[in-house]
Amino acid sequence: MYTSDTPALAALEILANAETASALRDRVAIRAIVPDEEIYRMPSEDLPANWDSNPIGPRTRDLGEAWRADAAFLALAVPSAVMPLQQNIIINPEHPSFRRVEIGDPIPIRFDPRLSGWKAG
C-alpha cells in the first residue's frame, strides 16, 4: 500500500501521476495509523543515486523488494520525490503486524481544477 504522511503530500503524489482530469475524480482519503515501532525510516544516505528518477530505477525497485522480502518491518518510510521534505510510507499488507494498522473511514476529496491545469469535465 503506497501512502503518504500527510493528505497534502498524497494529493501532490496523485497530481504528479495523473494524466487526465478524470484520474482526479472519485477520490477518497483514508486515514491509516501505523505504530511508529513498525515503521523503518530509511536514511537518505541509504538511497541509491537517482532514487527520485521517473520512472523508478532498478536499484530503487530492488531496495523496496528487499525490504518487503526481509519483512522485518510492517512499513517503510522514504522521502517523496515530489516533496523530499516529507515522506511516503509503504505498508506491506502481507506483514503479520498488518492487523495493527488502524484504518479509518473513506472521506471523499475533490481536486480543485486550478491545481491540475485541466478543465474539469
pLDDT digits (tens, 9 = 90+) for 55-82: 889 999 999 999 999 999 999 999 999 9
pLDDT at 121: 47
Under-50 pLDDT residues of the chain: 120-121
pLDDT at 119: 52
Here the cell at position 116 is 491540475
Here the cell at position 90 is 509503504
How many DSSP H helices and E strands does the chain contain?
A: 3, 8
d(CA 33, CA 61): 25
pTM of the model: 0.86
pLDDT at 20: 84
